[in-house]
Structure 1
Amino acid sequence: MDLGIAGRTAVVCASTQGLGRACAVELARAGCTVVVNGRSEGTTRAAAAELAAETGATVVPVAGDLGDHAVQDALLAAAGGVDILVNNNGGPPFRDFREVDEDALFAGVRANMAAPIRLVQQVVDGMVERRFGRIVNITSGSVKMPLAGLDLSSGARAGLTGFLAGVARSVAHANVTINFLLPGSFDTRRLRSGQEAAAANAGVTPEVVADGQRASIPAGRFGEPAEFGAACAYLCSAQAGFVTGQSLLIDGGAYPGVL
């Protein structure tokens, strides 16, 4: 399907690997110019070169910590007019809530709530003026099904969802949409590192941990990043203008509720 976004410019945060990279790939394939981001200059430049070679798209690398206002501003400056914004960032590590001190709390909120809100603030008026905008926020399945040890991640991302819920309705008249993608267990480096840590704590192999996790997913497998990227690309498409303020959970059926 032609997504109708060829020639658009997209900023995809935290996009050198994992789900962010999968989103960048699909937007590049759809004909967008894509600004990619990672913490390391070398890694970000390499990822941009790989993505450009793979898709033939124009890909611009901007390295740095998304919590830094200067890095945020550099991302937007590299894009010029931003038509598509995909907010993404790494979450806080697993930690008992008793160990979350004030510094850790504020760092988690800055990374997973404040930074994406500021980026939305910077781009949304231009989108309204041009009568096109797509904002997708990658949060987590833990927003709907909180997990012990991910309390800070769940709280900050739920805060982002609540903050932008009203904003989404206020700009929908201008063909600007704001949606949320909630990933479950996808086959990424982050998932595998978590399995390795859990295995070390339990005295078992990572394969044992992975098998147990798969057994808890009705689909019987982990998600593929490309599946997630395709969902993101659809929400960014011209055809998705009537979808806004929604939280799309992609978890193979692991969440047992209906809402």
Structure 2
Amino acid sequence: MDLGIRGRKAIVCASSKGLGKGCAIALAEAGCDLAVNGRNALVLAETAKQLRDFGVSVTEIVGDVSDHGCQRELLGVFAEPDILVNNNGGPPRRDFRELDRDAILAGVTQNMVTPIELTKAVLDGMAARGFGRIVNITSLSVYVPIPGLDLSSGARAGLTSFMAGVARTVASRNVTINNLLPGKLDTDRLRGAFKADVDEAEQKVRLAADIPAKRLGTAEEFGKICAFLCSAHAGYLTGQNIPVDGGLYISAF
């Protein structure tokens, strides 16, 4: 399917690896020029090299997307960005009793304030031009609380509620805002919790046991879903939370 976004300008945050990279690859395949971002310059450069193989323009912005300087650089790549994919690393797993005020504020900044700031910067321009796609990568933990990830869950839930109202204000201008909620996907973040003394394949099987799809998801298929939400065909889909979890979240509605 031609997604109808060839030549569009896309900003993809935290896209040097993992789910962000999956989204960047899918958008590059669809013909979008890209501004990509990551903290590790070498990893980001390798990702940018892969993306350029699709024949699109790729600009690398090294840094923490929560830093205002990094945000200004990202937003300065394109005068008129068409697509924004908000993504950022979440706080590490930690008992909430161990969180002090600084840690809480840092987590909220990463996973709520930063995407709001970037959305605010691009939204009016998108509305004025009559096209815009914003996708926030949140987490299935917004629906299914995970002990130890309370800060991440709370910040992303706050973002979800905030964007729910904003999405309705620009829908008539062909600007959409949707959220993708990854479940158990085969990424560095998930593998980082693996036990060093247990076979990795065995641990993946155990993790997949309670997933109806009986496997972990991939960054590639996650990226394809993101690209569709950014496509010309998804203009009537907005303000939605879409779990990408192999059926793990059980709900009829």
Q: TM-score range by the shorter chain?
A: over 0.9
Residue 61 of structure 1 aligns with which residue?
60
Residue 38 of structure 2 aligns with which residue?
38
Identity %: 56
1:177 equivalenced with 2:171 (yes/no): no
Residue 242 of structure 2 aligns with which residue?
248
- 1:25-60 CA distances to partner (integer Å, 9 max, x unpaired)? 01011111011000122322222122112x121111
Q: What one-letter code is carried by the residue in structure 1 that aligns with 2:185?
A: F
In the TM superposition, what are the counterparts of 1:90-239 in structure 2 within 5 Å? 90-195=89-194, 199=195, 204-239=198-233
Partners of 1:209 and 1:148 lie apart in 2 by 19
Q: What one-letter code is carried by the residue in structure 2 that aligns with 1:39?
A: R
TM-score by length of structure 1 reads 0.95
- 1:97-146 CA distances to partner (integer Å, 9 max, x unpaired)? 11111111000000000000000000000001100000000000101111
Partners of 1:6 and 1:92 lie apart in 2 by 35
- 1:217-256 CA distances to partner (integer Å, 9 max, x unpaired)? 1110000111101100000000100000000001011112
Partners of 1:20 and 1:47 lie apart in 2 by 11
The CA deviation at 1:204 is 4.6
SS in 1 for 2:104: helix
Q: What one-letter code is carried by the residue in structure 1 that aligns with 2:78?
A: A
SS in 1 for 2:160: helix
Asked if structure 1 preserves the Cα contact closer than 8 Å seen for 2:205 and 2:215, the reply is: no
Asked if structure 1 preserves the Cα contact closer than 8 Å seen for 2:139 and 2:180, the reply is: yes
Partners of 1:238 and 1:204 lie apart in 2 by 45
Asked if structure 1 preserves the Cα contact closer than 8 Å seen for 2:135 and 2:230, the reply is: yes
Partners of 2:252 and 2:159 lie apart in 1 by 22
Partners of 1:204 and 1:38 lie apart in 2 by 30
SS in 2 for 1:182: strand
Asked if structure 1 preserves the Cα contact closer than 8 Å seen for 2:204 and 2:216, the reply is: no
- 1:52-86 CA distances to partner (integer Å, 9 max, x unpaired)? 12x12111111101111110110010122110000
The CA deviation at 1:191 is 1.2
Asked if structure 1 preserves the Cα contact closer than 8 Å seen for 2:208 and 2:216, the reply is: yes
Residue 82 of structure 2 aligns with which residue?
83
Aligned length: 253
The CA deviation at 1:210 is 2.5
Instruction: Spell out structure 1 runs of 4+ moving beyond 4 A.
Output: 203-208
TM-score by length of structure 2 reads 0.97
Residue 25 of structure 1 aligns with which residue?
25
Partners of 2:208 and 2:187 lie apart in 1 by 14
SS in 1 for 2:25: helix
- 1:2-31 CA distances to partner (integer Å, 9 max, x unpaired)? 111011000000001111001000101111
Partners of 1:229 and 1:32 lie apart in 2 by 13
Partners of 1:4 and 1:208 lie apart in 2 by 41
Structure 1 unaligned blocks of 5 or more:
none
Partners of 2:128 and 2:43 lie apart in 1 by 35
Residue 51 of structure 1 aligns with which residue?
51
Structure 2 unaligned blocks of 5 or more:
none
The RMSD of aligned alpha carbons is: 1.2
Looking at secondary structure, tell me which structure has more helix per residue.
1
